[in-house]
């Protein structure tokens, strides 16, 4: 019966062929006929031809992939995924594994499992034997990502840091005119910071120009102290500095007119823990408007609100409002510059918290790699003026500067993620010596290459 169906399928594709000629088909001819059936919209025939090949050789990888593609076109997605995964397990070369990964991803996407499809497309990118096939996998990844209502990110970083506790760079502080020596744990401690964060968001389009979204995020920071820091602060351990945060966010993005830039409004609520104990509950509001100025320039405005309820120290609960603006510009050589400015007012019953502040920064992103490396850099200045005096009659006033250079190494990319190394330096100057800080850090992490 199978052989009769095979001959019928072959004759349907090649009607000019005699029955006698069709009785002696080679595997190559059957394979070509199956491919033709797929191209001409005849998945049933392609499925049967591939099945005939698998009867001859159950480990025929190309036949499994042909059948997987055929049953996917017949909307038998689970069977398609299983066949393509079998082919992936049997594959002997990167090209075979690449082809199998692509078929798995296509079947998953057709089933609606787009997040898993993106993971398989990242495998395909990593396995691609040449740049053309890699570009095809990246193109498919971007296509699936743009149609996936779920967007998820995972970030990990490890940072050798000269000041993991945000301690003072001074050894002493003047209190009521008397010089006091700071405890070891109040001064800067060196060590390692490990940061892990994850977020996921679901977006749904309500109309041609309006979307709603909701999601959640978690962040964990862990620390280890250097030998020198342990000797300086004998009663402090890295676990005493650990910080965790979790939040839920809901919002909307819309375009007021077809030519307008996007407007995004969101509200989030969450909690932070310090050393394992509840530290703060927060509610945050944000409204952001982007205004296209030209093909190479865009301006953005944002208003941010942040209400923090300190669980461990209620007097330092606060409400902050921040106004931000940024200008992004693409230069003639493709490089990008962004200039930013923000003003902040924080109201609180705690003198250590209530203040007015500002910040201004510039960020540069180079378009063309340098020696195979992608470069970006940023410089930020900021200032804060507090409402109450500290250890005397003068109101605390801080001013700071920070700089960062980031290097991405795309040649070391794995599964579409490239290593990123960031070098940072920051200094805060204050009229109260306790709050003068200086720290340097090198962060190792990964960034999606597409």
**pLDDT reported for residue 183:** 87
**Do 259 and 115 share a structural domain?**
no
197-235 per-position pLDDT tens digit: 999 999 999 999 999 999 999 999 999 999 999 999 999
Cβ(193)–Cβ(185) below 8 Å:
no
HEC secondary structure over 169-198: CCCEEEECCEEEECCHHHECCCEEEEEEEE
For the chain, the domain total comes to 2
**pLDDT reported for residue 23:** 47
**Do 218 and 113 share a structural domain?**
no
Indicate whether 405 belongs to any domain.
yes
**pLDDT reported for residue 49:** 93
**Do 282 and 156 share a structural domain?**
yes
pLDDT at 410 over 60: yes
Indicate whether 13 belongs to any domain.
no
| Phi and psi, residue 437, nearest 5° | -130, 155
**Do 240 and 117 share a structural domain?**
no
**pLDDT reported for residue 66:** 96
111-162 per-position pLDDT tens digit: 999 999 999 999 999 999 999 999 999 999 999 999 999 999 999 999 999 9
Indicate whether 364 belongs to any domain.
yes
Indicate whether 50 belongs to any domain.
yes
Indicate whether 21 belongs to any domain.
no
CA distance 374 to 288: 29
Last residue of a domain, one of 98, 130, 146: 146
* pTM of the complete model: 0.83
**Do 167 and 142 share a structural domain?**
no
| Phi and psi, residue 446, nearest 5° | -135, 150
Last residue of a domain, one of 84, 112, 146: 146
**pLDDT reported for residue 351:** 83
**pLDDT reported for residue 284:** 99
CA distance 294 to 331: 12
**pLDDT reported for residue 287:** 98
Mean pLDDT of the chain: 92
**pLDDT reported for residue 288:** 98
Indicate whether 6 belongs to any domain.
no
| Phi and psi, residue 179, nearest 5° | -75, 125
**Do 105 and 192 share a structural domain?**
no
Residue 89 belongs to domain spanning? 27-146
Average pLDDT over residues 294-306: 97
**pLDDT reported for residue 10:** 53
- Residue 160 is part of a domain; what is its CATH number? 2.40.160.40
**Do 443 and 323 share a structural domain?**
yes
DSSP labels, 297-314: EEEEEEEEEEEEEESS-G
Indicate whether 88 belongs to any domain.
yes
**Do 220 and 76 share a structural domain?**
no
Average pLDDT over residues 72-86: 97
**pLDDT reported for residue 316:** 95
């Amino acid at each position: 019966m199978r052989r009769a169906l095979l001959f019928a399928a072959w004759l349907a594709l090649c009607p000019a062929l005699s029955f006698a000629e069709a009785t002696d088909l080679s595997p190559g001819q059957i394979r070509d006929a199956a491919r033709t059936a797929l191209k001409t919209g005849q998945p049933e025939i392609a499925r049967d031809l591939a099945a005939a090949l698998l009867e001859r050789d159950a480990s025929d990888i190309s036949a499994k992939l042909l059948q997987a593609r055929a049953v996917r076109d017949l909307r038998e997605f689970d069977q398609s995924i299983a066949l393509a995964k079998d082919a992936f397990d049997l594959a002997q070369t990167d090209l075979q594994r690449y082809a199998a990964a692509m078929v798995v991803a296509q079947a998953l996407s057709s089933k609606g499992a787009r997040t898993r499809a993106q993971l398989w497309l990242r495998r395909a990118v990593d396995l691609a034997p040449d740049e053309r096939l890699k570009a095809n996998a990246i193109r498919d990844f971007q296509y699936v990502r743009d149609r996936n209502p779920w967007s998820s990110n995972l970030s990990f970083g490890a940072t050798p840091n000269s000041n993991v506790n945000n301690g003072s760079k001074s050894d002493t502080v003047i209190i009521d005119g008397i010089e006091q020596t700071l405890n070891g744990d109040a001064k800067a401690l060196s060590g390692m910071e490990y940061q892990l964060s994850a977020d996921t968001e679901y977006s749904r389009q309500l109309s041609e120009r309006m979307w709603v979204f909701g999601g959640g995020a978690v962040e964990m920071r862990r620390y280890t102290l250097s030998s020198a820091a342990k000797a300086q602060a004998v009663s402090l351990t890295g676990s005493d500095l650990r910080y965790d945060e979790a939040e839920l966010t809901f919002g909307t993005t819309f375009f007021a007119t077809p030519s307008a830039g996007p407007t995004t409004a969101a509200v989030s609520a969450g909690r932070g823990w310090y050393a394992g104990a509840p530290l703060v509950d927060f509610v945050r509001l944000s409204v952001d408007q982007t205004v296209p100025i030209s093909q190479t320039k865009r301006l953005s405005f944002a208003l941010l609100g942040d209400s923090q309820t300190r669980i461990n120290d209620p007097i330092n609960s606060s409400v902050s409002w921040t106004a931000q603006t940024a200008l992004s510009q693409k230069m003639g050589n493709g490089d990008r510059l962004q200039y930013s400015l923000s003003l902040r007012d924080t109201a609180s019953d705690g003198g250590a918290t209530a203040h007015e502040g500002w910040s201004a920064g510039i960020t540069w992103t180079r378009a063309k790699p340098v020696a195979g490396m992608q470069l970006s850099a940023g410089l930020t200045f900021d200032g804060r003026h507090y409402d109450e005096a500290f250890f005397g009659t003068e109101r605390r006033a801080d001013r700071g500067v920070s700089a960062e250079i980031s290097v991405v190494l795309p040649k070391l990319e794995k599964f579409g993620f490239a290593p990123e190394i960031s070098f940072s330096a920051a200094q805060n100057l204050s009229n109260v010596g306790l709050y003068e800080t200086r720290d340097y850090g090198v962060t190792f992490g990964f960034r999606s290459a597409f």
